Structure 1
Amino acid sequence: MTRATEAAAFFGITATIYLALLFQWIPIPLPETVQEFTLPVLPWWALVSFGAYSLGNIGYHVMTFRDCPEAYHELQTQIAQAQNDLRSKGISI
């Protein structure tokens, strides 16, 4: 299975279970507070949690970003080659 297929299957199964619990298609004795107050806001809680995780993950990786001196020098040589190529074609830089 591809990663997209796995993700679609996971979200499909999760959505089915959530809807079955929300509309009481599965006879599970849940407390009334869970049925009325927790289940309806569960998707928003999951979305906010995922957003917070994503922002934290991006922030951490930006904070611990490593410089790559080899990539810098390689990029500089590619820029110089492009400039020389453009100059040889008569384009002023």
Structure 2
Amino acid sequence: ALREYGYKCVPAIGELRQPVWPAEVYGSISHCGTTALAVVSRQPIGIDIEEIFSVQTARELTDNIITPAEHERLADCGLAFSLALT
């Protein structure tokens, strides 16, 4: 991702194994399973990828991770509930 901005390096690795981006560059890295993404920008940016919850997992987690109002919003958003919850 840094090559798009003219850098010929990879981010350094910080004490907590976080990427240390060059000055004036913001970046984010995410991975899940066999997929990894990296983005850089001149503005703060963040990405996250996750496996989509199964219908069963969504049912099991719902009451523990969202409020009834959030549940209503997700149910009305036009996506499958398990996708929206993920």
Task: Tell me, yes or no, whether TM beats 0.5.
Answer: no
More strand by share: 2
**Larger Rg belongs to:** 1
More helix by share: 1
Could you state the TM-score of these two structures normalised by the residue count of structure 1?
0.22
Could you state the TM-score of these two structures normalised by the residue count of structure 2?
0.23
